[in-house]
Amino acid sequence: MVGHLSVRRLALWLGACAALAWGAAGQAQPVAPELLKPENRTISNSKQFTIFGGTKKERGDLARRAEELKTGLLRELQMADEWQVPILIILTPADGIRLRQAPVFVKMFDAEDAGRKVQVDVAPGVLGDQAAVNAGLLRAILLERAVRKQTFEGGRFVEPPSWIAAAMGAALGRGDAAEDARVYSALLEGRGMPRFDRFLAQNPEGLRGQAREIHAAQSLALYQSLVESAGGRRKVVENLTLAEPAKDAMERFGQTWPDLATDPAKLARVWALGVARLASPQRVEFFSGAETASKLSSLLRQLTGGDEGPEPGQVLIEMARTPEGRFRLDAAAADLRRLGFRSHPLYGALVEEYRAMIEDLARKRRRNFSAKYAEAEDLRMALDARSGEITEFLNWYQANGADEVPVVLSTRQLRVPERLPGRNDSISRFLDAIEQRGW
């Protein structure tokens, strides 16, 4: 096994470290001498994990859990088990915890001749919090992978992206499918996705409860959407194992996905679609035509103030002249994006058209806005009328009863003219314009 370390050499190394505090590469907790005794340590099957302290049962459970997490991680990222750095898991005694130390404390340090080591300090009482322990173990495994190509300059290194660690935790810890779908459905109905640079800079270790659950869901959605792109999983591993990763999280993301980093609008769409896919169409109810029309009308009325007063297009243009107004327009565009995920197919293209117009207006792109908005309003009125007619017909058809055996026409009975006459109504013109734009 690559990086195999004999038990004797490991014990000697830890004994030397027991009297010292390690330097800039990570202020790890010194190991108590009694933990170095053979009866107080357990080595995992792959020999990468060595657990010190606690009871024999606790050490055995941690060894199995660490191996299971590593196996799942390697399978998810499609990597071989070629570990190079041992991971030391310390079940710290109650009197060995530093003030304000994290319950699961992960650090890496360079022990010169003994090589690099990853240490995980687990506080007493944390073993019952499986999510916290799993998160620490996953972070340690990812850290071992991330720093292989890095050079320790002054004992410092760049840790793996927090969103990858959170995504792996969510991917390996998936539970009931309906419960998972509930979380992503809540994201669709919530305030929308956060600013991407703030999301990348967020430290999940400081989050608790629902906030941590939402961050994990957003991380997994980002991971899944990137994996589905060309060379996706390979690029995720590439970003994780960069030889010279940028310290800034956004710059590091741009080292692997420059096209997304420089196009926030495209990135937001990819990310939001990842959430929509994880919400699962089988568990997210789509709106009917009447519901979509009602919600769309309500969103637009909240912006323009209703039918009375100035022309709605001019109201929105004036709104875009102030920072507060542009903030409202951005919020409305996000609401329209969420509505588009669940809108009736008859309204899908129109909702997207409104979203694009209002988003452009929030970015001070006002050219021909009034004319485009008026055209979209005419089309919305026509769709509302057509949707009402369809609903009435279906209600009549259901009330009068349908034939139990449908009439099947053979292809010989159907004669399609070589060239159909063109249509010139507003809906057809709108669909033709979309087709010409390549949508």
Per-residue pLDDT, 401: 61
Strands 104-110, 87-91: pairing kind: unpaired
Please give the residue that has the higher pLDDT: either 151 or 356: 356
More confident: 174 or 368? 368
Average pLDDT of the chain, as a whole number: 78
121, 28 contact by CB (below 8 A): yes
> pLDDT value at position 285?
67
Query: Residue 51 in 3-state DSSP?
Result: strand
| Pairing status of strand 41-43 against strand 87-91 | unpaired
Write down the pLDDT at residue 128. 74
pLDDT at residue 254, as a whole number: 92
CA 285 to chain centre: 22
- Closest Cα partner for 303 from 345, 336, 344? 336
Q: Does the pLDDT at position 64 exceed 90?
A: yes
The answer, yes or no, to whether residue 201 has pLDDT greater than 60, is: yes
7-146 CATH pick, 2.60.120, 1.10.260, 3.40.30, 1.20.120: 3.40.30
* For residues 157-184, average pLDDT: 74
Q: From CA 195, how far away is CA 271, in angstroms rounded?
A: 11
Instruction: With CA atoms as reference, report the closest residue to 168 among 97, 240, 274, 114.
Output: 240
Minimum mean pLDDT range among 118-127, 200-209, 219-228: 200-209
What separation in angstroms does the CA of 32 have from each of 11, 15, 85, 190? 12, 9, 22, 48
pLDDT mean over 37-56? 87
Sign of CA dihedral 72, 77, 79, 85: negative
Instruction: Output DSSP code: residue 211.
Output: H
Q: Where are the chain's structural domains?
A: 7-146, 162-279, 289-399+424-436
Q: What is the pLDDT of residue 17?
A: 47
Asked whether 163 and 133 are in contact (CB, 8 A), the reply is no
pLDDT band at 208 (very low <50, low <70, confident <90, very high): confident
Distances (CA, A) of 248 to 121, 196, 198, 200, 363: 27, 13, 11, 9, 26
Q: What percent of the chain has pLDDT over 90?
A: 17
Q: Tell me the pLDDT tens digit for each residue of 301-354.
A: 888 876 666 788 888 888 888 877 887 888 888 788 878 877 888 888 888 899
The pLDDT, as a whole number, for residue 267 is 86
Residue of 158 and 131 predicted with greater confidence: 158
Res 188: pLDDT: 55
Sorting pLDDT into bands at 50, 70 and 90, what band is 258? very high
- Say what the pLDDT of residue 4 is: 45
Owner of token pair 């390996």: 172
How far separated are the first and last CA of the chain, in Å rounded? 53
Tokens, residue 292: 């979509």
**CA angle, 134 as apex, 197 and 4 as ends, to 5°?**
105
Asked if the model's pLDDT at residue 179 lies above 50, the reply is no
pLDDT at 66 over 90: yes
| pLDDT-wise least confident of 284-293, 316-325, 419-428 | 419-428
pLDDT at residue number 180: 53
Supply the pTM of this predicted model. Answer: 0.56
